[in-house]
Each structure stands twice: as structure tokens, then as C-alpha cells.
Amino acid sequence: MISLIEELIERKLGKSQVRMWRRLRRNRNIKVGGVLVLGFIFMGLLAPWISPYDPLRGKLIESLSPPSWKHLFGTDIQGRDILSRVIWGARTSMIVAFFSIAIAVTAGTLAGSVAGFLGGWVDNVVSRVVDIMLALPDILLALFVAAIIGPGLENVILAIALYNFPQFARISRASVINIKQEDYIEAAKAIGERDVSVLLRYILPNSLAPVIVHATLRTAASILTAAGLSFLGLGVQPPTPEWGAMLSDARTYLVTAPYVWIFPGLALTLTALGFNLLGDGLNDVLNPRIEV
């Protein structure tokens, strides 16, 4: 079945794309990372159907029951099923990661490529702002935003988008400046293509590879930072199931019920590991400099 699908995919692709596709498939990091990431996305998307219990409602009589056939991961202090909360936690993390990275990639690529393409004072202004933002570490920018606009799901997304923005701006600026000097861009300009269409049709598509690799790696870091903010109480608020917040709740009965904090942490680690492996693998395949 799988080989049939693979054959169909290969038939659709051009010759060089087939080679790329085969290299992607052969890379072990991509395989393992891909499986972990797919598992995470699967959990997040299907949470309402696959979680055995309501993640928000528990029976107090079952408070802190250890893992059993009824509750595979046990229950928390309010008697809520931990497996269900871990599954729903994937959905929360997925929402935060997807929207924050999407905003950061869009805004960053736009600002970076316009700066790289136009040069001059536009480039100067964008680059200085990016420099200042990059001079501050991730968690600090996130704390900064949390201090101003307060906690909550949307605010976490905003905080994480904000600290990822300058990285994507810098990467796409660099690759646009590189590509700008290629012959085919000169050619496009020579036949009278307008600036906007040169940027959109020729430069942007060719500058995407490093952005994709970085976005994958940043997703791992962003999921961890979002969980960290929630752990500190500055992120997603209870009773929303969120892995970092679950770990924070569990601290009070660390000794008596280790199963309360083991599983959310494991889920976080495996998810971040998946995105890191996938990012490393994509980097090996898409970034030909490594092979030299």
C-alpha cells in the first residue's frame, strides 16, 4: 500500500524532484522525526474523538488515582483523566505553535525580503530593529510581552510570534540578497518584469528552503517556550489542558503522584524531539552545503 502511494508520488514528480524525494525518504532523522510529528498532529486534530474522557471534568472521588486500565495515565488532583488531558494538550500546543510560527514566518519573510530586495534606508531600519530584538533572549521577550499584555492563549501566540519574527526576517533577508545576484533574476528584470513580480515569482520561492528548515526547528523551541510560560503561570490559563501548566499543577504532589507530571513532560519531549529531528533531516537534504 505504502509503496504504491510512493510510486504514484514519484510518477507525478520531475526527475530532480524524484531524487530529492528519495533522499528525503532515506534520511533516518526525517523518518523518525516525521513519525513523531505526525503522531503529535494526529493527537491534536483528533483529540475530541480519541480522548477517552472529558479533559475538563473529573470525578473528585477518583482524585490522584494511579495508572490503571480505567485511566491509563492515572488522574490528577481533580480526578481528571491524564491521558485525555495529554491528548487535548497536543491540540493546545499545536494551535500555539502553528499560529505563532505562521505569523512569524509571514511577517518575517515579508519584512526581510522587502529589506533585502530594496536595500537602502528600508533595509537599515528593518535590520536595526531586528538586531535589537535578536539581542534579547527568547524567554525574556516572551516575559516582556506577558508582563504587558498578561497571560492567555492569544497572548502566548503573540509573544512567541514576536520573538520568532526577527529570526525569519534575518534569514529571508540574507537569502534574498544572495538570490538577487543570480543571473535568472537579472534576466527577469531585463525582460521588464516589475519589482513586485520579480520578488514574488522568482526570489521568494527560491529563498524558502532555509525558512522551512528554520521554521521546523523553531517549532520545537516555540512549543517548549510556550509550555515554559504556562509553567510559570504566564501562559495558557487553567482549566485549558496544556502540558506546561499540567507540570506546574503537579509540583504540589510531586512525591505522592509522579504519574501526574511524567506523561505531560514526556509528551513535550517527544514532540520537541520530533520537530528537531525533522528539522535536522530537512537541513541535510535541502541544504546542499552540508555535502561539500
Partner 1 sequence: MANVARYALGRLLLSIPTLIGVTILVFLMIHFLPGDPAFFLAPPEATLEEVERIRKSLGLDRPLYEQYVTFITNVLKGEFGKSIITGHKVSELLWPAYMNTLILSVFAISISIILGISLGVLASLNPNTLLDQTVMSVSLIGVSMPVFWLGLLLIELFAVKLRLLPAGGSGSPAHLILPSLTLGILGSAYIARVTRASMLEVLNRDYVRTARAFGLPEWRVILVYSLRNALIPVITVAGLIFGYMMAGAVLTESVFAYPGLGRLIVNSIFARDYPVVQAGLLVISITFILVNIGVDILYAFLNPKVELR
List contacts with partner 1 (CB under 8 A). 128, 131-132, 135-140, 143-144, 146-148, 220, 224, 227-228, 231-234, 244, 247, 250-251, 254-255, 258, 261, 265, 268-270, 272-273, 276-277, 280
Smallest CA-to-CA distance from 244 within 151, 165, 144 is with 151
Residue among 199 and 221 whose Cβ is closer to partner 1: 221
Cβ 148 to partner 1 shortest distance, Å: 5
Residues 6 or more apart whose Cβ sits within 8 Å of residue 239: 56
Cβ 57 to partner 1 shortest distance, Å: 26
Residue among 66 and 137 whose Cβ is closer to partner 1: 137
Cβ 15 to partner 1 shortest distance, Å: 31
Residue among 207 and 216 whose Cβ is closer to partner 1: 216
Residue among 203 and 224 whose Cβ is closer to partner 1: 224
Residue among 198 and 234 whose Cβ is closer to partner 1: 234
Alpha carbons 223 and 216: distance in angstroms, whole number: 11
Cβ 64 to partner 1 shortest distance, Å: 16
Cβ 134 to partner 1 shortest distance, Å: 9
Cβ 192 to partner 1 shortest distance, Å: 38
Residue among 142 and 198 whose Cβ is closer to partner 1: 142
